[in-house]
Amino acid sequence: MAAALILTLSQIGAAAPASAHGGGESAADLPAADTVARAVALVAAALLAGVTLIRPLAGSPTEPARRLIATFAAAGAVAAVAGAVGNLSGPRYLLLIPLLALTAAAALRGPVPLALAAGAALVVWLCWSAVTSSVGDAVLMLSHVAVAVVWAGAVLASATAEPGTRAALVRRLGPVALGAGVLAAGTGVLSARNYDVTLGGITITDFGTVVVIKVALLVGAGLLGLGVRFVLRARRVRSDSDPDPRRGAVLARLELGVLVTAVVAGAVLTSLPPPGPPPVAGSPLVRALTLDDAITGLVIAPQRPGLNLVHVMTDRFTDVVVDGRRYRAEPRPGTQGLWAEVQLPAGRSLLEVRQGRQVAAQIVNTGDRHPAQDRLSGPDGAECVSAAMGAFLGGSRAPLEACPADALAPADESALRGLVKNLDTRGVRRLRLITDTTPRGVAAEKAVRAAAKAARIVVAENPAPGQGKADAVLALAGWEISRSSLDGLRAGPAPLYGTYLASWLVQAGAVAAAGGAPLAALPFDPTDSEAQAYLVALRRVGPTESASPAGFVAFLAARGQVLLSGGSVLYAATVGFEIMPMGGGQDSAGGMNHGGVDSTWFGGGALTPVSTRLPG
């Protein structure tokens, strides 16, 4: 039996919690009373499940075992009631009360088949989050918990055995415990990988501290188990009529006590957020969290020492905590979700995302070189983060070295020239520009002015009174400046030929600020396979996050592809556009063709082509 435990301890993964946290699940920051109630309920369920599952080999429980079974059942029921009326999952913990009663009755007086069924039901209860998740998680967690409780039941049976039968019982349970240990080691390793548990990731978190405590307790229990076997084997060698039949009982009971404490530590782990996937030092990090059952995307860029921009894809009140310092995540003009500017130290640190009582943790590693770029705090920071996220989704783990506003891409310049030529054919004679002073904005304005001059279109940023209003408006600035200017223009009469957006502004914030259905010349097809691959990857992280050309271009670059400047197509953009399906389920609605993932550009909006290919 002790050998099985040593096998389990040979892998740090065996110390991972037997809970369905998943790679990005949060944990509730519960009051102390609820944490104690959860721990007591989980310990009671685990030990009673073990007692019933080991019963075919251990036989009927002894009188000391009966008292322990009754005590655990009563304590677990009281804890379940306390948890149900507190902040734990009410229905699940109320269900535990009859399960504990049934299991205790089956262990004390019921037939073996009923005992096995009751024990199996408690194992399912312990793994409920995994059972209601994917099939793979369910099989892995059910296997891990089942073999763990069998081992616990074997220890309890040995500790409470009659003195004259303890040696024979330990010999009988040894092969079962050995097999349980091998399975626990294997499923523990798989569980650790599945939940991103690594040695580096657990050393600076509360989660890691409790894991270390649990490992120490299990090592102690293993040594005590070896002591029990040594004492009983020595007794067998000397004589089967040892004058002290209680030899080994003290060690066995001490082993049980240490094991119960280890189970308590495991229960505490279920209330702590895991440390998250290991980051690549000095490069942006993207992760899908599960906060209060809602998938919430997290982006940290550039993940270098100094100022970093954190994007949380939610509209719920959220705080970001770094090394004890709390930052309020807030909206930014022209963007979706919430944003926080945080200071990250050099090397490893812990970042927590808090929504009410829900807490998700992520280890960050900024390295010790290349300070963060302060431009992420400016008006173009959100677009730069969108590009960093696109590169990450495309498979790149390279540091963030440049932002989209640093230069005008050839494909975008070609699209702008084609757009101005289209304006000429439509009869536009006066064009108003929305510009900024970024390298991209300056180059875009220069290209548009040159094309407008060739087409004899007058360009004016702010037409003077008496000069007449502009026939069309073209936004060339970044996200934040464009949205602010477009919001101001909506107070007046709409331009005769409409509002136009540079291709990098085709994202939900700028389109919504423009109002109606602004037009944009795009140098790519948002419905082709590459764009759809980007959209599906994006929505798996942030189900409602708007796509952006910056993200798509970075996604392509990470996959070794580039946008060609061979022409563009004029698209009309709308946000919040929904069509009720005429038949079938949700997947038959527009954009729901990838396993339920919304593959429309704006997450419910539309990009509709309104021209043939424009000349470059």
**Which of the 8 DSSP states describes residue 599?**
-
Identify the CA nearest to 337 among candidates 308, 300, 311: 311
- Shared domain for 189 and 302, answered yes or no, is no
How large a percentage of the chain has pLDDT more than 90? 41
| CATH, residue 386 | 2.60.40
The answer to whether residue 107 is domain-embedded is yes
pLDDT, tens only, 110-143: 898 999 999 999 998 888 776 666 677 778 888 8
The whole-number pLDDT of residue 466 equals 46
- The verdict on 68 and 189 lying in the same domain is yes
CB 412 within 8 A of CB 502: yes
What is the pLDDT, as a whole number, of residue 177?
67
Tokens of 372: 């963060």
Q: Which of 269, 298, 326 is the last residue of a domain?
A: 269
Work out whether the CA dihedral 603, 609, 610, 611 comes out positive or negative. Answer: positive
- Residue 34 is inside which H or E element, if any? helix 32-53
Q: Both 401 and 419 in a single domain?
A: no
State the average pLDDT for the chain.
81
The model's confidence at residue 6, banded by pLDDT at 50, 70 and 90, is very low
CA–CA separation, 173 and 186 (whole Å) = 20
Both tokens of 155, joined, read 């220890």
Q: Which helix (H) or strand (E) holds 499?
A: strand 499-501
pLDDT bucket at 74, cuts 50 / 70 / 90: very high
> What ranges in 359-471 are assigned the alpha helix state H?
381-393, 410-426, 439-454
Q: Which amino acid is at 344?
A: L
Domain boundary residue among 372, 405, 438? 405
Structure tokens at 506: 């085709």
42 falls within a domain: yes
Place 195 in a pLDDT band, splitting at 50, 70 and 90.
Answer: low
3-class SS at 568?
strand
Give the mean model confidence (pLDDT) for residues 384-409: 95
- Co-location of 89 and 194 in the same domain: yes
Shared domain for 139 and 265, answered yes or no, is yes
Residues 307 and 345: their CA atoms lie apart, in Å, by 9
In a domain, 315, yes or no: yes
> Does 541 map to a domain?
no
Residue 278 lies in a domain: no
Indicate whether 99 and 227 sit together in one domain: yes
Tokens 């540079």 correspond to: 502
**Do 284 and 300 contact (CB within 8 A), yes or no?**
yes
Residue for token pair 């989704």: 393
Please indicate, yes or no, whether residues 177 and 326 belong to a single structural domain of this protein.
no
61/145 Cα distance (integer angstroms)? 22
Tokens at 553, concatenated: 């271009």
Find where tokens 């199996």 sit. 120
Mean pLDDT of 560-577: 81
CA angle 146, 361, 183 (to 5 degrees): 20
Give me the residues paired with residue 285 across strands. Answer: 300
Residue 489 sits in a domain of what CATH number? Answer: 3.40.50.2300
Distance CA 116, CA 100 (A): 13
Domain residues for 65?
Answer: 2-8+31-269
**590 or 24, higher pLDDT:** 24
Angle between helices 381-393 and 479-489 (to 10 degrees): 130
Last residue of a domain, one of 242, 269, 296: 269
479 token code pair:
């996200």
Read off the tokens for 286.
């993207």
Shared domain for 151 and 190, answered yes or no, is yes
Same domain, 248 and 115: yes
Q: State pLDDT tens for residues 149-189.
A: 887 888 888 778 887 777 777 778 767 766 676 676 677 66
**Whether residues 366 and 307 fall in one domain:** yes
Task: Please count the other Cβ atoms lying within 10 Å of the Cβ belonging to residue 236.
Answer: 13
Distance CA 206, CA 106 (A): 38
**418 and 614 Cβ atoms separated by less than 8 Å:** yes
- Number of structural domains, the chain? 3
Among residues 550, 593, 597, 546, which one has the least CA distance to residue 574? 546
198 within a domain of the structure (yes/no) = yes
| Beta carbons of 220 and 282 less than 8 angstroms apart | no
Q: Amino acid identity of 134?
A: S
Distance CA 142, CA 122 (A): 11
Which of these, 336, 339, 406, lies nearest to 553 by C-alpha position? 406
Q: What is the mean pLDDT of residues 332-361?
A: 90
In this structure, is residue 124 part of a structural domain? yes
Same domain, 63 and 119: yes
Using H for helix, E for strand and C for coil, what is the string for 296-346?
A: EEEEEECCCCEEEEEEECCCCCCEEEECCEEEECECCCCCCCEEEEEEECC
| Residue 578 confidence (pLDDT) | 41
Rounded to an integer, what distance in angstroms lies between the CA atom of residue 309 and that of residue 330?
Answer: 12
At 263 the three-state DSSP class reads helix
Please check the confidence at residue 460 and state whether its pLDDT lies above 70: yes
Give which of 299, 286, 287, 308 is closest to 366, Cα–Cα. Answer: 308
What is the spatial distance between Cα 336 and Cα 314, in angstroms, rounded to a whole number? 8
Cα pseudo-dihedral 469, 473, 478, 482, rounded to 10: 60
- For residue 434, being part of any structural domain is answered with yes
Are both 196 and 258 inside the same structural domain?
A: yes
Q: What are phi and psi of 560, to 5 degrees?
A: 80, 25
The answer, yes or no, to whether residue 20 has pLDDT greater than 60, is no
Chain CA centroid to CA 244, Å: 57
Q: Which residue has the higher pLDDT, 416 or 19?
A: 416
- Is 460 strand, coil or helix? strand
Kindly report the number of other CB atoms within 10 A of residue 492's CB atom: 8
213, pLDDT greater than 90: no
Q: State the Cα–Cα distance between residues 545 and 52, nearest whole angstrom.
A: 49
Phi–psi pair at 323, nearest 5 degrees: 50, 45
